[in-house]
Structure 1
């Protein structure tokens, strides 16, 4: 029976990063994967959606070229080419992951793994493994790390069929463009697909059961986002749920119920179900070993350890936030703890969240409401994009940066942004929080001009009544 120090189950961002770090630390390492190197994120999630959104962004720029003194005659798009570019980006990166695993001498075992005992597992061979790859059989390892990710949550009545009701898998590879689309759920996945299809001219309706879109974001940012989306042509129905779905030959009629009990029907070409994801805990043999799970996720401690010695979990299967960068960092912490390096536990309060809609949304830490609910004495600073020279020059003057500080100590509690490139800007505040930087230190920091990042400086100054350009 082949034996390893570490076997990682799942080659998504968390899994392959963990395997590479394990190999760097001198562990004999293998990784088990059933379908795609790079996992859902690289093949069907984070990366290909950003490629789609980039195409939509450029198309919108073409439509508005005159605003920049440019002329583009009859701008149009080729849906098949947009999809193929997205798939090509994924293929390129998946190949890159394979190279990294080979470079680090990590064995790739193709198939589906099931734990059979402490330190042992059986792999059922994949249907079409790469030529010469390791496959089915029994394997053993001193440390087994579960990194199997998550799959779309399915609600009764909203079961996807690949034709009329889509998951994000289907929405990523449309053969034709629907004229109308109902998106159920306004989290990051739902809003990103709504943005993509709206940019290509689809009539988009977004339904959210809670009282605002992007409900995990600061309420002020959510309200700003909704106004912006509606200005672009979205129809947004909050405090509304789908209570019935009738599928026709080439359309769907949904019955929507508002919080006050009022009902209405809407007929659309296609429906995207974007109501979240659940961990892939099935068929792993967890029950046999007595691994504790809760709400579809493995229960772990601060270092990825389950209640069963030698079994660990990272990433989506280990619970929220279900983000690729959280999975990667969680995996590093886990394997370094196994190696005895005594890493710092991951602080989930310092994990940034990004939504790649137009405008983009990004945040880290506490919202204003949560900070106040915790009884903290806060001071809040805001700065609008319209006050920034670079934003105006870019033609991107719609946006807001908001920061929340603990008034007595000057600690940065949270930062929330909406506008152009904020998914890149947010990391500045993440670094500041990780270094326990105060508002005074940020005020004393020099920000380059002209940049969007100057707004980060101004927002901090605004929290102290010192903003200059507003």
Structure 2
């Protein structure tokens, strides 16, 4: 006999899970959410939010270090890594408490523990040791609909496994006991590049090793090349088409054997190593096999509305596959629960999901790269505009950057937009909205952008694609 029955049980209280639970409650479903450790999940507690707090500290420190360029004077500039980490953890803690408030506000039951599917419509929960006093915990629960939002964890490569001391994942990299003087980052995706940027700004000698020819492999090649030049100018050493073959650990350092693209090898001794080679979905221990839920390569197979191979079981977010982004998980969850309600939502178009990397310089993109657009058979028009032609960028002391837009030459459809430079993670939403509205170049050209703003670079990039650019 189940302790309590629900319309919807969500397993996992990360961004996808808790947003799904809130929308479920708004739609009138009796809703519960199961979480084993922290409300807000990895993103809020150990990913998206606390890393941005760390990067903000690094950004302020970097600006202070260049005070003279702004006509200012500052002496005795320094930082306390413990205080930097404490601020980051405080930000995460505040937001986790906020998720708890939202659960109470929406009358969502929080069940503390580790869940598994015990049969159709049945969820078995093993109680969590850290469950708040008096909270729901271990037991059997029932629901008409079970939504899996269990997220993902860092991928470990054989022979390069993190140990929590010398070889870090993003967990340890966010809360170091001491500031390393030298650092090796394996992988140049968003996670690896953000940590490389953070530690380099604070003075560490940083080397990034990427097995592919291009850093930031999912980004447009031109944007990635621009970013690489900026990183190398800052002193980050980047090795592409290279592989870390093995790690030899000392008492308080690591010697990495790196296979270079010319066939030679290099021994590099560093204080710490960050493994940032991607993530893998948390599919283990959920009872998927017994129930017949199909998985493939560490993800749960689901349709555009989150439906799995078993009726009444759904999957959203990282565990349902790429792109593994918090905002994708949130929207995916809303679509899923609205489909359950019978509201006939639009299936999420993954081609219109923006990606952001919060390094210095920032990188943001949405849609097809120029190469992917050509591969798809489009005849394209490409526009580019450098930040050096923008008054606001120069006034900010941020003249290095680039906006690139890709249009279908025949229809004027905006196929993709790619940006590198100051605050582009805040600017990209303009292109996201344009793509969702099926905007063509004509509407974008006719739109009046405010002056002086960084957003004018977006307008000029569109103008450039059609031979009408003004400020270069």
| TM-score (normalizing by structure 1) | 1.00
SS in 1 for 2:7: strand
Counterpart in the other structure of 1:117: 119
1:38 & 1:284 partners in 2: Cα distance? 20
Counterpart in the other structure of 2:450: 448
Counterpart in the other structure of 2:324: 322
**Shift of the alpha carbon at 1:157?**
1.0
1:173 & 1:64 partners in 2: Cα distance? 26
Counterpart in the other structure of 2:383: 381
Does residue 76 of structure 1 match 2:73?
A: no
Counterpart in the other structure of 1:273: 275
**Shift of the alpha carbon at 1:265?**
0.8
The structure 2 residue matched to 1:369, chosen from 355, 368, 371, is 371
SS in 2 for 1:331: helix
The structure 2 residue matched to 1:5, chosen from 4, 7, 10, is 7
Segments of structure 1 that go 5 or more residues without pairing to the other structure are none
1:260 & 1:287 partners in 2: Cα distance? 45
1:86 & 1:396 partners in 2: Cα distance? 25
Counterpart in the other structure of 1:256: 258
**Shift of the alpha carbon at 1:259?**
3.1
1:460 & 1:141 partners in 2: Cα distance? 50
Post-superposition CA distance 1:109-128 (Å, at most 9, x none)? 00000101010010000012
**Shift of the alpha carbon at 1:375?**
1.2
Does residue 16 of structure 1 match 2:18?
A: yes
Counterpart in the other structure of 1:350: 352
Counterpart in the other structure of 2:420: 418
Does residue 246 of structure 1 match 2:248?
A: yes
Counterpart in the other structure of 2:405: 403
**Shift of the alpha carbon at 1:73?**
1.1
**Shift of the alpha carbon at 1:79?**
0.6
Counterpart in the other structure of 1:216: 218
1:63 & 1:390 partners in 2: Cα distance? 21
Counterpart in the other structure of 1:286: 288
**Shift of the alpha carbon at 1:438?**
0.4
1:90 & 1:268 partners in 2: Cα distance? 29
**Shift of the alpha carbon at 1:260?**
3.3
1:307 & 1:318 partners in 2: Cα distance? 12
Post-superposition CA distance 1:65-117 (Å, at most 9, x none)? 11111111111111110000000000000000000000000000000001010
2:440 & 2:291 partners in 1: Cα distance? 47
Does residue 50 of structure 1 match 2:40?
A: no
Counterpart in the other structure of 2:208: 206
Counterpart in the other structure of 1:390: 392
2:261 & 2:200 partners in 1: Cα distance? 26
Q: Which runs of 4+ in 1 moved over 6 A?
A: none
1:78 & 1:15 partners in 2: Cα distance? 35
The structure 1 residue matched to 2:130, chosen from 128, 131, 156, is 128
Segments of structure 2 that go 5 or more residues without pairing to the other structure are none
Post-superposition CA distance 1:268-290 (Å, at most 9, x none)? 00000000000000000000101
